[in-house]
Amino acid sequence: MNIRSLHIMKRFQGLLLVWLLFICAGTSRAQTFTAGVSKNPVGLNEQFQLSFTLSSSGSAFKAPSLSDFMVLSGPNQSTSMQFVNGSMSQSLTFSYILQPKKEGSFKIESAAVESGGKLLLSNPLTITVNKGSGGGQAGQQGNDQKTNISTNNIFLKVSIDKSNVYLGEAIVATYKLYTNVQVVNYSINKVPAFNGFWSQDMQMPAQLQLKTEVVNGVTYQVGEIKKVVLFPQQSGTLTLEPMEGECIARIQVKRNRSGSPFDIFNDPFFNDPFFGGGGIRDVKFAVKSTPVKITVKSLPANPPASFNGAVGRYSIEGLIDKSNPKANDAVSFKLKLSGKGNIKLAEAPEFELSPDIEKYDPKITDNIAVNEKGASGVRTFEYLLIPRHQGNYSFGPVEFTYFDLDKKGYVTLKTPAYQLKVERGAEGGGTAVASTGKADFQILGRDIRFIKTSPTLFTDTSDDFYGSLIFWILILAGVAGFAFLVVFRRKQLALNADMAAVKSRKATRMARKRLETAGSLLKSGNQTGFYDETGKALWGYLSDKLKLPVSTLTKESVVAALTTASVTQTTTNRLVETLDYCEFARFARMEGGKNPEQVYQETVNLITQLEDEIKN
């Protein structure tokens, strides 16, 4: 007996041992009997498979009436067994290859089988038959039928938790991959641009987690590819563009084995080339989700002056590190905004201060989590205040207004008023009089004069500085300087009264600060954070420079504003391409694309070019 014969004999012995173990062991698991189809709906001339699966052994199978279909093959009976962690499980399947006779909706009633002394009934099914194009051939049956991959086997689908929302209300979009064949690999070729939305990705597991889901009577393995929280930035009907990808499906290619002594077995290992089987084949298949429409309602008209686009539910707290500083000392004033909603888009509240107190742009710190419920956490605005003169000052209360989704109205939050009692600094305003031994003599010239022991120096009154030309020049210079400072101060106050103009003037400086953060992320190897921060730098610069509120900031509004500002079409196109590239690079690995250093330098050059071209 040769080696090949011995190998075949060992496989037969192993198979017989498995059958004996199963007969002896029996089963204690709960028995289920389910019905399913390979596709639904089906075309008029298309073939599909109807399966009835029992989770244990059974007998006396009774099929339902299939008079509305042509039975091309069946019932075909197959048994499968699995050993997992020492436990054995068995399933018994009765299958048919069917083809519809006419269009319409047809119900397949429950099948019946006996198992463990009980009569089990499967779930009924409803099959929808459309006109279709038809591709089945009646002559192909059972395992000889060629396996074709279609959108009934693999498809992408996006689901949203709500489709009718307010402007700024969070929407959770989940992109799922459905398959009823083996998928060995997949890739995403096109990530939606989310036009009209501000998006924030949710953290996904490193490995695709598969779950079972039934769609139109067909059982699929489902994996979540991407989850994102979306905040609509404009009202009307917005569209979630499709996600596109590519899957590698591994299918088993079977062929006729007429004359083979092993055809009696329906066990997978007999299909390998050693036994004359057809083996497996990897098939590339493109997938694409269907666009989804979302209705975005406008917020109520006439919001309070302190409303800046915040939607959700919030609370606010103000903290000041010292209330009795000295002149020219730094004071830290923090506003902590806590809550749930579009908190990442919340802007720093504005409040008035005395002209004698300098206020610097706030430092923003986020501790925000993004999950299935949206975005929630704390955003902190830290202001640096420097009182320049001694005195008592007050400011506040600071107001923050948001749109409450539960109350369907605006809610205004207020902090308490704050008091600053500024003491004289080291180089402050008043002049101190030192105490000496002559403290009792307060008015010189009206009381005792001390004897002068030093020589007396006489001067010529004709050379007296008082009343001289230089004296009057210095007096006039002082008056002119004081007038200049008054005019300059008033002009500064007038300029700072227009917050949009202030932001426009400081747009480039703020953009460069954000780009410094992006550069730090790039050096640390965090490319996702780099592209996210680079995109924020561009969007923030455009919002400030073009005086566009965040709630209306879209590519379309930016292009329109740039056109009005006489920016060239070439620069506008470069801007849109850079924004698209940063958005795409946040979600997908870029093969053969630009390196991050190149993107960084192009962004710096782009902001410089825009600064030259935008007409204020």
Please indicate, yes or no, if residue 430 is contained in any of the structural domains: no
Average pLDDT over residues 414-437: 66
Asked whether the predicted pLDDT for residue 85 surpasses 70, the reply is: no
> Does residue 161 sit in the same domain as residue 105?
no
Please indicate, yes or no, if residue 467 is contained in any of the structural domains: no
User: In what side-by-side order are the strands of the sheet with 59-62?
Assistant: 59-62, 112-115, 118-121
Print the domain residue range for 523.
500-613
> Does residue 133 sit in the same domain as residue 217?
no
> Does residue 227 sit in the same domain as residue 319?
no
Q: Which residue has the tokens 């409450």?
A: 404
What are 326's two structure tokens? 């000295």
Asked whether the predicted pLDDT for residue 226 surpasses 80, the reply is: yes
> Does residue 169 sit in the same domain as residue 285?
yes
| pTM exceeds 0.75 for this model | no
Residue 547 maps to which CATH number?
1.20.120
* Cα–Cα distance for residue pair 538/505, rounded to 1 Å: 15
Please indicate, yes or no, if residue 13 is contained in any of the structural domains: no
The last residue of a domain, from among 261, 278, 296 = 296
> Does residue 168 sit in the same domain as residue 292?
yes
> Does residue 228 sit in the same domain as residue 268?
yes
Residues of the chain above pLDDT 90, percent:
23
> Does residue 605 sit in the same domain as residue 507?
yes
Please indicate, yes or no, if residue 238 is contained in any of the structural domains: yes
Asked whether the predicted pLDDT for residue 583 surpasses 80, the reply is: no
Between these two residues, 165 and 462, which has the higher pLDDT value?
Answer: 165
CA 291 → CA 154, 163, 239, 301, 503, distances in Å? 17, 13, 7, 31, 37
Please indicate, yes or no, if residue 447 is contained in any of the structural domains: no
Q: How many CA atoms does the CB half-sphere of 599 hold within 13 Å?
A: 29
Assess whether the previous peptide bond of 64 is cis (omega < 30° from 0): no
pLDDT in tens, 342-399: 988 889 998 999 999 999 999 999 999 888 777 899 999 999 999 999 999 999 899 9
> Does residue 249 sit in the same domain as residue 291?
yes
Between these two residues, 525 and 450, which has the higher pLDDT value?
Answer: 525
Report pLDDT for 432.
34
pLDDT in tens, 436-485: 333 333 333 444 555 556 666 555 555 566 777 888 898 889 889 999 98
Are the C-beta atoms of residues 333 and 364 closer than 8 Å to each other?
Answer: no
Residue 329 maps to which CATH number?
2.60.40
Please indicate, yes or no, if residue 486 is contained in any of the structural domains: no
pLDDT range class, residue 430, cuts 50, 70, 90:
very low
Asked whether the predicted pLDDT for residue 195 surpasses 80, the reply is: yes
Within 10 A of 341 (CB to CB), how many other CB atoms are there? 23
Please indicate, yes or no, if residue 476 is contained in any of the structural domains: no
> Does residue 236 sit in the same domain as residue 108?
no
78 phi/psi in degrees, rounded to 5:
-140, 150
The last residue of a domain, from among 252, 276, 296 = 296
pLDDT in tens, 303-347: 999 998 999 999 999 999 988 999 889 999 999 999 999 988 889
The last residue of a domain, from among 251, 266, 296 = 296
Specify the range with the lowest mean pLDDT, choosing from 205-214, 498-507, 560-569: 498-507
Q: Are strands 307-320 and 399-404 parallel, antiparallel or unpaired?
A: parallel
Report pLDDT for 420.
92
> Does residue 132 sit in the same domain as residue 58?
yes
Q: Could you give the number of structural domains in the chain?
A: 4
Report pLDDT for 586.
67
CA 105 → CA 39, 211, 376, 433, 562, distances in Å? 14, 29, 47, 104, 56
Asked whether the predicted pLDDT for residue 280 surpasses 70, the reply is: yes
Highest mean pLDDT among 88-97, 143-152, 524-533, 561-570: 561-570
- Tally helices (H) and strands (E) across the chain: 8, 30
3-state secondary structure at position 156: strand
> Does residue 160 sit in the same domain as residue 292?
yes
Please indicate, yes or no, if residue 493 is contained in any of the structural domains: no
> Does residue 140 sit in the same domain as residue 178?
no
Q: What is the 3-state secondary structure (H, E, C) of 471-533?
A: HHHHHHHHHHHHHHHHHHHHHHHHHHHCHHHHHHHCHHHHHHHHHHHHHHHHHCCCHHHHHHH
pLDDT range class, residue 296, cuts 50, 70, 90:
very high
